[in-house]
Each structure stands twice: as structure tokens, then as C-alpha cells.
Structure 1
């Protein structure tokens, strides 16, 4: 039976061992870098669809656009880290006294439409268009963090 021994470079092994200790610090930074790329694409798509193709003049207040953001990286019950690109609540210009009109509802109506209002997708196209750029940004952030070790 043949036997092969491969020796890794010492500096690479040191980086790997230090990476294990700093994983919980590096992962949130990498995810947030990717989230920022996706947020920028969602924001540009949202700006393009708000008020476009309407029969009447747009009544947009800019509230939905300003509520868009990226959450900080959080760990779920399974130990996985996640960031979310979405809308903060509640609306500051609460159009209904009971606050029943939320940013999420307005975004859903824009994305999927409703009776008498055709859909104007902005989330799904942003997801598709920003996937590669998001991965590239996360790889670059990861490599930067590894170099600092």
C-alpha cells in the first residue's frame, strides 16, 4: 500500500488555526458585506418601480424607500448566521389610525400587484441580478479578514 505525506506551509496552518478562533467575528462581517450589495440593488429597483406606469400622479412619500435596510448579522437557534434585507416597521407616516398599513404590505402589493394594480417586481429581479456580485463581495470581505489574521 502506498503512503503519501503532504506538509502544509506553516503560515497557512497558523492562519487556519487562528481562523477557527475568530470565525464568530468574521462571519457577520462577510454576511453584512453581501447584504449591502443586495440592498443597493433592491433600492435601485424600488426607485425604478415607484410611481411608474400609474394612471394617476404618484402619491409616494418616500417612506418605503427610506425604510429599506440590512439587519445586523444574527445567529438563529440552529447556530446559523443570517442577515435580512427588508423594511423597518412601523411606518412613520401611518396612513391608517390603527397602523394597519405596513411597509411589508406596501412592498408586497408593489411586488405582486392587486386587483386593478399590475405587479411591479423589484425584489425577485434584485435577488437574481445581485447574486454573483453578492458572492464576490463576501469572498473579498472574507479574504480581507483572513489577511488580517
Structure 2
């Protein structure tokens, strides 16, 4: 039976061992970099959807766009790290930002849908992955 022995470069092995110790520090920064790409796309889509192609003049206050933000990277009970793009609640008038975003995204009786979330998700997927890869490479090179 044949036997093969491979020796890894010493500096590579040191980086991998240090990466294991710093995973909890690096993962949130990598996810934030990707989340910011998606957040920028959602903001631009939302700003273009609000007040466009309406029968009546827009009554937008800018509160929905201002409530859009990025959560910090948190770990769920399964051990997965997540970052979320969403709206802070509640509005000044007591209604829900999520409800208004849902109406804009899917429409309602007498109001056509103006999707801004789903197109942002599909168009920002590859740039988000690339941003996270670049940030991960940067973090690994710092070690």
C-alpha cells in the first residue's frame, strides 16, 4: 500500500491556527461588509420606488427610508451568524414600517406593486459575496 506525506508551510499552519482563535471576531466584520452592499442596493431601490408612477402627488416623509438599516451580526441558537437588513420600528404615527414596506413591495387594492427588496436581493448577491470574500482575505492577511 502506498503512503503519502504532505507537509504544509509553517506560516500557513500558524495562520490557520490563529484564525481558529479569532473566528468570533472576524465573522461579524465579514458579514457586515456583505450586509452594507445589500443595504446600499435596498436603499437605492426604495428611494426610486417611493413616489414614482403615482396618480397623486407623493406624501412621502422620508421616514421609511430613514428607518432602513443593518443589524449587528448575531449568532442564532444553531450557531449560525446572521446579519439582517430591515426597518426599525415603530413610526412616529404608531404604524409599522414593515407594513408600509410590504405595501410598497407587493401593492394593495388600487396600488400597484413596486418591488424593491426582491430585486435588491437578486442583483446584490454576487457583489455581496465578493465583498465578503475581500474582507475575509483582508482579515486573514492581518493575522
TM superposition score category, shorter chain reference: over 0.9
2:2 is paired with a residue of what secondary structure?
Answer: coil
Number of residue equivalences:
143
5+ residue gaps, structure 2: none
How far apart are residue 134 of structure 1 and its match?
0.2
Once residues 104 and 136 of structure 2 are traced to their aligned partners in structure 1, the CA distance between those partners, rounded to angstroms, is 35
- The correspondence of residues 1-149 of structure 1 with structure 2, limited to 5 A, is 1-92=1-92, 94=93, 99=94, 101-149=95-143
How far apart are residue 77 of structure 1 and its match?
1.1
Flag as ranges the 4+ runs of structure 1 deviating above 3 A. none
- The Cα offsets for residues 59-92 of structure 1, whole Å up to 9 and x where unpaired, read as 0000000000000001111111100000001113
TM-score where L is the length of structure 2: 0.98
Once residues 70 and 42 of structure 1 are traced to their aligned partners in structure 2, the CA distance between those partners, rounded to angstroms, is 11
Once residues 114 and 11 of structure 1 are traced to their aligned partners in structure 2, the CA distance between those partners, rounded to angstroms, is 59
How far apart are residue 3 of structure 1 and its match?
1.1
How far apart are residue 41 of structure 1 and its match?
0.2
- The Cα offsets for residues 2-57 of structure 1, whole Å up to 9 and x where unpaired, read as 11111110000000000000000000000000000000000000011000010000
1:69 is paired with a residue of what secondary structure?
Answer: strand
Once residues 34 and 131 of structure 2 are traced to their aligned partners in structure 1, the CA distance between those partners, rounded to angstroms, is 6
CA RMSD of aligned residues (A): 0.6
Once residues 79 and 128 of structure 1 are traced to their aligned partners in structure 2, the CA distance between those partners, rounded to angstroms, is 26
2:140 is paired with a residue of what secondary structure?
Answer: helix
2:124 is paired with a residue of what secondary structure?
Answer: helix
Once residues 5 and 130 of structure 1 are traced to their aligned partners in structure 2, the CA distance between those partners, rounded to angstroms, is 43
